[in-house]
């Protein structure tokens, strides 16, 4: 189904967004015309919540978190993307709570009408959204969130501990699994065209619920290994009771409509003639390109274009040589030496794919670009594949969770002895399902002949690769495991990968006491200063005491 953002949904969103944070309703008057659970079709709310969630997943996973996890780098307007130049003015969580307000209305209406499918869907999306909030920030309003319409006592909402939030998420997902366990014909009032994820397929939603639970049990594996082991064993030992997404055909993907800039892939050039637009700023990261080249990985050609003009060192020629010959640019040693001094990294002579190194100060000048300008075409650096210029397409999806991720989780669990079966077999299947998802399944066998399995490092590397355009999940894995072993660049804000988002200044100003209590519970690291505790380099509860990733 298409990622639909249509007029009636837009109208509902305007009517349903009751609060954009957990505070500030003192200034709002009651609106007698507001759409509420008694006068709205929950099917329309399903579309609203899914589409909003899907957009957030791509905005992060193809946006700044792709920079953090070194899938991509930008050579223009790059501070937040390449260098983690964030602050307490970055990344407000209001959008997540607005979607949760809509989801709460969906659940309330579905409960009144005893619509089990809609309740199940609402619980899955509630878990997904609260999970993202806590994963990104740490402690957050949960138990008493979204209750500002009930009275002034809920205007300043306390932040729940992450353990409370994750426990609630897992409880909601277990209930969703039960609600979605009947045959398809046992449910009613499903409008397939409004379920823009699975077209009303109850069995697929059930797999989504359990796969999401598996993700969160593994999320807890370092902090609460007992809870994680018990939960993963329970799911995997009862496959008929807890079916999972094991095949890419069941991946939780949302397509784009592509009718306007608002409902199109974020790097599309279809609605902009700007030569320095988002597509032209984003380059493949050298970290990812080099990893894929080392593995002779065909996914590289799906995600990136080959360079137009390779560089060749003009050995034995004048040091100022700079000539195009037979489609290649021959450059002398002085140009190469000057490049190293100015840009801080050496020239890359690969003839096929060249990535942009992490957080270099003059990204527009990399690889001896003539007349560098921010965010425009560089013929000697790999641009994204042309599919990312399009507004929509068969591979342009918001990927909420995948069979590849599930199999990699099972591979890691097998290494821990928590599930039966071979870690290597799950690892192989994770790669296979990633290949299937990207339309190159026929190249899997040849690829596997050239790689080997060596344990957790290989699992996490392949999981990181497979999270392309969904890099936020690989960020959360990195925090938990320290893998893959990423190093920062010369312009990075700190000499370490960030661990969380800052609590936003709007929340601190409007819900001061509770926000400050949550900030006090963060644990500073050697990279926190000169920030206060409210830093992207402070540890949330989930990481405290684990020794990970640093």
Q: What is the pLDDT of residue 272?
A: 84
pLDDT in tens, 222-234: 999 999 999 999 9
pTM for the whole thing?
0.93
Q: What is the pLDDT of residue 38?
A: 61
pLDDT at position 324 over 50: yes
| Main-chain phi, psi angles of 29, to 5 degrees | -95, 155
CA distance from start to end of the chain? 42
Q: What is the pLDDT of residue 24?
A: 30
Q: Is 241 helix (H, G, I), strand (E, B) or coil?
A: coil
Q: What is the pLDDT of residue 26?
A: 29
Q: Which residues of 187-205 are buried (b: 16+ CB within 10 A; e: fewer)?
A: beebeeebbbbbebbbebb
Whether residue 549 is preceded by a cis peptide bond, meaning omega within 30 degrees of 0, is yes
Q: Pick the residue with more confidence: 2 or 157? A: 157
- Give a three-class secondary structure readout of 412-435: HHHHHCCCCCCHHHHHHHHHHHHH
Report which DSSP code applies to 503. Answer: P
Rounded (10°) CA dihedral 262, 263, 267, 271: -60
Retrieve residue 261's tokens.
């800039």
pLDDT at position 14 over 90: no
pLDDT at position 341 over 90: yes
pLDDT in tens, 443-454: 999 999 999 999
Q: Please count the residues of the chain.
A: 550
212 neighbors 401 (Cβ within 8 angstroms)? yes
Q: Which helix (H) or strand (E) holds 152?
A: none
87 neighbors 502 (Cβ within 8 angstroms)? yes
pLDDT at position 493 over 80: yes
% pLDDT > 90, the chain: 88
Mean pLDDT taken over the chain: 92
154 neighbors 147 (Cβ within 8 angstroms)? yes
Q: Which residues sit opposite 312 in a β-bridge?
A: 330
Retrieve residue 425's tokens.
């077999």
- For residues 182 and 185, what is the distance between their CA atoms, to the nearest angstrom? 8
421 neighbors 410 (Cβ within 8 angstroms)? yes
Band (pLDDT 50/70/90 cuts) for residue 17 is very low
Burial class (CB in 10 A: 0-12, 13-18, 19+), 394: exposed
302 neighbors 353 (Cβ within 8 angstroms)? no
Nearest to 310 by CA among 278, 353, 345: 353
Q: What is the pLDDT of residue 151?
A: 80
pLDDT in tens, 349-406: 999 999 999 999 999 999 999 888 767 789 999 999 999 999 999 999 999 999 999 9
pLDDT in tens, 112-151: 999 999 999 999 999 999 999 999 999 999 999 999 888 8
pLDDT in tens, 173-230: 999 999 999 999 999 999 999 999 999 999 999 999 999 999 999 999 999 999 999 9
536 neighbors 502 (Cβ within 8 angstroms)? yes
Going by their DSSP bridges, the two strands 328-331 and 311-313 should be labelled as parallel
CA angle in degrees (0–180, nearest 5) for 461-464-467:
150
pLDDT in tens, 266-315: 999 999 878 778 899 999 999 999 999 999 999 999 999 999 999 999 99
Q: Which residues sit opposite 322 in a β-bridge?
A: 331
CA angle in degrees (0–180, nearest 5) for 455-461-465:
145
Q: What is the pLDDT of residue 273?
A: 76
The residue ranges of every structural domain in the chain are 283-389
Count of Cβ atoms closer than 10 Å to residue 510 Cβ: 17
């Amino acid at each position: 189904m298409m990622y639909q953002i249509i007029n009636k949904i837009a109208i509902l969103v305007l009517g349903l967004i009751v609060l954009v944070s957990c505070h500030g309703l003192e200034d709002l008057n009651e609106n007698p015309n507001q759409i509420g659970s008694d006068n709205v079709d929950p099917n329309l709310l399903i579309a609203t919540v899914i589409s909003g969630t899907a957009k957030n997943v791509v905005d992060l996973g193809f946006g700044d978190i792709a920079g953090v996890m070194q899938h991509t780098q930008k050579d223009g307007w790059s501070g937040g993307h390449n260098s983690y130049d964030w602050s307490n003015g970055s990344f407000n969580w209001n959008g997540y709570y607005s979607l949760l307000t809509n989801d709460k209305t969906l659940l309330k209406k579905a409960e009144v009408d005893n619509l089990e499918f809609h309740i199940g869907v609402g619980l899955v999306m509630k878990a997904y959204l609260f999970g993202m909030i806590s994963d990104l920030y740490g402690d957050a309003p949960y138990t008493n969130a979204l209750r500002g319409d009930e009275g002034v006592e809920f205007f300043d909402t306390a932040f729940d501990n992450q353990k409370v939030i994750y426990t609630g998420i897992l409880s909601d997902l277990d209930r969703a699994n039960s609600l979605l366990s009947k045959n398809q014909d046992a449910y009613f009032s499903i409008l397939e065209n409004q379920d823009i994820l699975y077209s009303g397929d109850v069995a697929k939603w059930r797999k989504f619920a359990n796969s999401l639970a598996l993700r969160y049990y593994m999320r807890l594996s370092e902090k609460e290994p007992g809870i994680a082991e018990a939960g993963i064993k329970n799911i995997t030992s009862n496959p008929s009771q807890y079916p999972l997404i094991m095949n890419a055909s069941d991946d939780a993907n949302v397509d784009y409509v592509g009718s306007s800039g608002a409902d199109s892939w974020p790097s599309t050039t279809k609605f902009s003639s700007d030569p320095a637009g988002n597509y032209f700023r984003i380059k493949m990261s050298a970290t990812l390109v080099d990893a894929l080249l080392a593995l002779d990985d065909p996914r590289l050609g799906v995600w990136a274009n080959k360079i137009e003009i390779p560089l060749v060192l003009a050995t034995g020629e004048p040091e100022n040589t700079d000539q195009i010959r037979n489609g290649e640019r021959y450059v002398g040693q002085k140009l190469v030496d000057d490049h190293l001094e100015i840009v801080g990294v050496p020239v890359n002579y690969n003839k096929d794919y060249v990535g942009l190194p992490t957080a270099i100060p003059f990204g527009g000048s990399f690889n001896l670009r003539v007349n560098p300008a921010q965010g425009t075409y560089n013929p000697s650096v790999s641009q994204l594949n042309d599919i990312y210029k399009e507004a929509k397409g068969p591979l342009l999806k918001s990927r909420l969770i995948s069979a590849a991720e599930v199999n990699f989780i099972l591979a890691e669990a097998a290494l821990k002895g928590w599930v039966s079966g071979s870690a290597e077999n799950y690892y192989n299947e994770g790669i296979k399902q990633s290949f299937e998802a990207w339309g190159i399944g026929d190249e899997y066998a040849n690829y596997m002949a050239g790689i080997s399995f060596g344990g957790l490092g290989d699992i996490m590397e392949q999981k990181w690769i497979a999270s392309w355009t969904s890099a936020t999940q690989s960020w959360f894995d990195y925090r938990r495991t320290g893998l893959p072993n990423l190093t920062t660049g010369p312009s990075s804000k700190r000499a370490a990968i960030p661990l969380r988002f800052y609590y936003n200044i709007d929340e601190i100003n409007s819900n001061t006491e509770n926000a400050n209590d949550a900030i006090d519970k963060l644990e500073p690291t050697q990279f926190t200063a000169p920030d206060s505790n409210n830093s992207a380099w402070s540890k949330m509860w989930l990481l405290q005491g684990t020794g990970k990733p640093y």
